[in-house]
Each structure stands twice: as C-alpha cells, then as structure tokens.
Copies of this chain bind each other. A is one copy, B any other.
Amino acid sequence: MMSLTHEQCIKACLECMEACNVCFDACLQETDVKMMADCIRLDRECADICAFAAQAMQSNSPFAKQICQLCADICEACGNECKKHDHDHCQKCAEVCYKCAEECRKMAS
C-alpha cells in the first residue's frame, strides 16, 4: 500500500512530466526558438527525471527519497527558467514544476 505522501508525489511528478513535454513541444514551435533554448533543455531533463521518480516510487525503490531530492532540484531550476517567459505553456509549466518540487521535498524529508 502506498502512503498518501507517495500518491501525491507520484501525481505531481506525472503532471510535471506532462507540462514539461507540452512546453518542450510548444517552445520548439515558437517564433523565437533561440530565446527558449534553456527552457527546451530543462523541459527535457525535468520530464525525464519526473518519469524516473514516479517509477521509483511506484516500484518501491530503496532510492525513492534520493531520486525525489534530485527531482526537486531539477523541477525548481526548470520552474525558474519557465517563469521568465510570458508564453502560457511556460507560465503553466513553471507553476506545475514548483508544485512538484514541493511534493518531492516532502517525500525526500
């Protein structure tokens, strides 16, 4: 049985993975792609670590906490970058990243 903390953190990671993938795709279609380069890079990394963290929690990994700690750091960096850009997908992604960072820090503690 998964704890509520686990369930909420998995949910946050899966929502963050989706927001980052949607933002990755949308950034690549913007007029000024150059300005979005760091966002594209961090979206990719953040989506991948969120998937990895979700799988670790779901499979009861002995490293779930450490993985969530790293995930929190990457989510925060991705959120900080996204927040700089006015596009809706970036603002939405920033919000979801910060939420995920918060849940991951709870899991890690």
Contacts and interface: CB of A to CB of B under 8 A. Distances in A.
Interface of A: 10, 14, 17-18, 21-22, 24-25, 28-29, 31-34, 36-37, 40-42, 44-45, 47-49, 51-52, 54-56, 58-63, 66-67, 70, 73-74, 77
B73 A66 contact: yes
A25 B63 contact: no
B58 A22 contact: yes
Contacts of A41: 25, 28, 59, 61-62
Contacts of A28: 37, 40-41
B17 A59 contact: no
Nearest to A61: B45
